[in-house]
């Protein structure tokens, strides 16, 4: 009888935690699916707000902050007004900083930081290009040191190399092997976490096709 009471007591402690975890995962999966199907600034802004609400409830987890920031970074590329773009990126950076505070050694966060910088450059290419290009490649090197198998590192590196002139170490010949590596690493990449970031694979193939 004591064993039965003990089992009931343990279940009483663990079940609420399991239920809470399931709710978190269900909410994240639903919002990730919506993000995958997003189109236009309104959709990306709504996505960021949903993930930010989850982050507010789950303050110790980096992924909600990551996805909220990612939604805004993607949104920023669709904004042509420089001052508005900077405001969007300021919010994205704040969310990314919160994620980095939680998990500084996560490669995906440094990849997202590298993804944010080109949008900053677009506000003022002549004035910001050199500074933010250096920061971008520095973030990619940090991400690579943390996880050299992360395919998004090579996707961003390859795309940016393709858009740099040969005099600055860029051009199709420099970019092609990096994008080929990205595609190969996307095909080999495996993570059992259903919430793990998965963007970039189709875009990497498309960018490589442009160079062939």
Q: Running along the chain, 212 residues long, what does each successive block of 10 average in pLDDT?
A: 49 53 93 96 98 96 98 97 98 98 98 97 94 95 98 96 84 93 96 95 94 82
pLDDT at 1: 53
Distance from C-alpha of 159 to C-alpha of 108, rounded to nearest angstrom: 17
Burial class (CB in 10 A: 0-12, 13-18, 19+), 198: middle
> Number of helices (H) and strands (E), helices first, in the chain?
9, 0
pLDDT at 18: 52
pLDDT at 19: 65
**Cα four-point dihedral sign 36, 38, 44, 49:** negative
| Prediction pTM value | 0.89
Name the DSSP letter for residue 105. Answer: T
- Is-contact 128 105, C-beta < 8 A? no
Q: Which tokens go with 159? A: 């795309």
- Is-contact 79 45, C-beta < 8 A? no
């Amino acid at each position: 009888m004591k064993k039965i009471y003990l089992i009931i007591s343990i279940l009483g402690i663990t079940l609420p935690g399991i239920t809470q975890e399931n709710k978190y995962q269900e909410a994240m999966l639903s919002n990730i699916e919506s993000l995958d199907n997003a189109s236009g600034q309104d959709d990306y802004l709504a996505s960021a707000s949903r993930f930010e609400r989850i982050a507010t409830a789950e303050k110790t987890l980096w992924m909600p902050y990551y996805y909220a920031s990612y939604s805004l970074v993607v949104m920023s590329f669709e904004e042509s007004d420089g001052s508005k773009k900077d405001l969007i990126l300021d919010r994205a950076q704040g969310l990314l900083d919160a994620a980095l505070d939680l998990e500084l050694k996560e490669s995906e966060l440094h990849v997202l930081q590298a993804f944010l910088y080109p949008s900053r450059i677009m506000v003022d290419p002549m004035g910001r290009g050199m500074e933010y290009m250096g920061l971008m490649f520095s973030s990619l090197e940090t991400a690579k040191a943390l996880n050299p198998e992360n395919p998004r590192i090579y996707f961003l590196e390859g795309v940016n190399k393709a858009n740099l002139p040969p005099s600055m170490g860029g051009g199709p010949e420099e970019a092609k092997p990096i994008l080929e590596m990205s595609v190969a690493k996307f095909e080999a990449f495996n993570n059992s976490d259903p919430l793990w970031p998965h963007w970039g694979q189709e875009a990497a193939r498309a960018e490589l096709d442009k160079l062939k």
